[in-house]
């Protein structure tokens, strides 16, 4: 479980996160949603440690990471896997080498054992056929899957996904969402997904934190989202005609 307590973050004196508190549960897909510029990416990057918060605490299973420094923080980070918006695969390495990289860096297993583990993860994301290809030679969806394989290869306790569906078609987006959810349940990971894809919200939103203008405006799950009483959230979720119809059907119990 990851607990965020009253975190405040500003850039050049401009507050972006204003005393945000939230709980992200283990074994669930936790979603951070919000409009562009609402502060959701800053919240995620603060939780993962890319940004240092001005004040507040970030507690990973009773460990306060805001107090960690240097090597202790680096050791702790090995428990984290992250899927970046643009995949962030290393261009000069093949898909297999990308997935092997964390193992080569931190595992004391033999090379054969490392390759076996990497291939297991690639098989899990259905990418064994692309092991010898470079990131530039595979599609965006395959890059995302390769990045997921790299993120889970060290058996992380925490998985962060920054807009995993950006640039993907709806079908591939759904596959990625389902894959992340399956992995979360299978390995009992605390997964946090930063998204503004409403399909993801409706499909895998087991715990949703809505950020509006740097503040937490609502927290709940996908079943509670139809009747939140939170106008900014409703404006975001039910902005399109399709979702207005879905909401109407839901309210009519159709």
Give the nearer residue to another protein in terms of CB position, either 58 or 237: 58
Cα–Cα distance, 121 to 123 (Å, whole number) = 5
Cβ of residue 46: shortest distance to another protein, in angstroms?
13
- In the complex, the residues that contact another protein under the rule CB under 8 A are 48-50, 73-78, 80, 82, 84-86, 88-91, 101-102, 104-106, 160
- Tell me the closest approach of the beta carbon of residue 162 to another protein, in angstroms: 8
Query: Which CB atom, from 156 or from 205, has the smaller least distance to another protein?
Result: 156
Q: How far is the CB of 160 from another protein (least distance, A)?
A: 8
Pairing outcome for strands 190-194 and 29-33: parallel
Instruction: Let me know: does 25 contact 1? Beta carbons within 8 Å.
Output: yes
At its nearest, how many Å lie between another protein and the CB of residue 121?
14
Look up residue 150 and give its two tokens. 């790299």
Report the DSSP pairing between strands 2-11 and 29-33: unpaired
Q: Are strands 190-194 and 158-162 parallel, antiparallel or unpaired?
A: parallel
Phi, psi of 5 (to 5 degrees): -120, 110
For another protein, give the closer residue by CB, 112 or 241.
112
- The string of DSSP codes covering 130-166 is GTTS-GGGS-HHHHHHHHHHHHHTT--SEEEEESTTT
Nearer to another protein, 150 or 216 (CB): 150
* Residue 158 or 238 having the CB closest to another protein: 158
> At its nearest, how many Å lie between another protein and the CB of residue 231?
34
């Amino acid at each position: 479980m990851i607990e965020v307590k009253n975190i405040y973050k500003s850039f050049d004196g401009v507050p972006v996160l204003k005393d945000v508190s939230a709980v992200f549960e283990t074994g669930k897909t936790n979603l951070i949603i919000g409009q562009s510029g609402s502060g959701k990416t800053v919240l995620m990057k603060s939780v993962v440690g890319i940004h240092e918060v001005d004040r507040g605490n970030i507690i990973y299973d009773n460990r306060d990471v805001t107090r960690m420094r240097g090597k202790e923080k680096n050791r702790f980070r090995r428990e984290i896997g992250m899927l970046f918006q643009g995949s962030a695969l290393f261009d000069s390495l093949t898909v297999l080498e990308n997935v092997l990289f964390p193992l080569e860096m931190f595992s004391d297993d033999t090379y054969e054992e490392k390759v076996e583990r990497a291939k297991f993860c690639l098989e899990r994301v259905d990418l064994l056929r692309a092991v010898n290809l470079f990131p530039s030679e595979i599609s965006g969806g395959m890059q995302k899957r390769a990045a997921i394989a790299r993120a889970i290869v060290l058996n992380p306790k925490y998985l962060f996904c920054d807009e995993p569906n950006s640039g993907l078609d709806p079908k591939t987006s759904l596959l990625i969402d389902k894959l992340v959810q399956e992995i979360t349940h299978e390995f009992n990971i605390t997964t946090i997904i930063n998204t503004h894809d409403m399909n993801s919200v409706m499909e895998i939103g087991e715990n949703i934190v809505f950020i509006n203008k740097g503040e937490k405006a609502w927290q709940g799950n996908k079943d509670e989202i139809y009747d939140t009483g939170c106008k900014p959230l409703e404006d975001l979720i039910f902005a399109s005609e399709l979702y207005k119809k879905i909401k109407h059907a839901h309210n009519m119990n159709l």
